[in-house]
Amino acid sequence: PVLYVLNGPNLNLLGVREPDIYGRETLDDVQALCEGAADGACVVFRQTNHEGQLIDWVQEARDTASALVINPAGYGHTSVALLDALKTLTIPIVECHLSNPAARERFRHRSYVSPVAAGVVSGFGPFSYELAVKAALRLAQEHRA
Ligand code: DQA
């Protein structure tokens, strides 16, 4: 199986960006954790600061992925276009956040991604990604069966 792990804006700065909230581990560290958690499955791990790029990759996942993990970052709170793209997928979607947006500012409480996600993992730092990858692979297996 092929698992897409897509990351939205500013996550390239992980490790240096607001470390008290997001921790000291870098996005490369997170990628390594995802690959370790994937149990031999092929992980396509990407990050972009551009909404349209994120949407292009979601569309690409339609043809190539068996499941999608997405940390939409700021776009999760704003992007109807991202929601529309995710709605075109039939594969399982797992939403993932390092922090727990529900415990932060009000504007982070709304997610345009959650309604189309099978589930959401948030608040566990990089461990959120490991859990999300495990969940996505399990869902992909059930989806195929
Ligand atoms: C985030 C939470 C979002 O509210 C924020 O905009 C981010 C990162 C997280 O992983 O905790 O950029 O998605």
pLDDT, tens digit, 9 for 90 and up, residues 83-94: 999 999 999 999
ipTM above 0.90, yes or no: yes
Report the residue among 16, 21, 30, 71 best suited for mutation to probe ligand 1: largest number of ligand atoms under 8 A from its CB.
71
pTM for the model stands at 0.97
Question: Positive or negative, the Cα torsion across 50, 35, 89, 70?
Answer: negative
Give the residue whose CA is nearest to atom 3 of ligand 1.
Answer: 73
Q: What is the pLDDT of residues 45-103, one digit of tens each?
A: 999 999 999 999 999 999 999 999 999 999 999 999 999 999 999 999 999 999 999 99
* Residue spans per domain, the chain: 2-144
Whether 97 is catalytic is yes
Query: Which residue is it, tokens 């499955």?
Result: 41
**Distance in Å, CA 110 to ligand 1 centroid:** 12
**Distance in Å, CA 145 to ligand 1 centroid:** 33
Query: Any bridge partners for residue 120, and if so which?
Result: 95
Question: What are the backbone angles phi and psi of residue 44, rounded to the nearest 5°?
Answer: -100, 105
Q: What is the CATH number of domain 2-144?
A: 3.40.50.9100
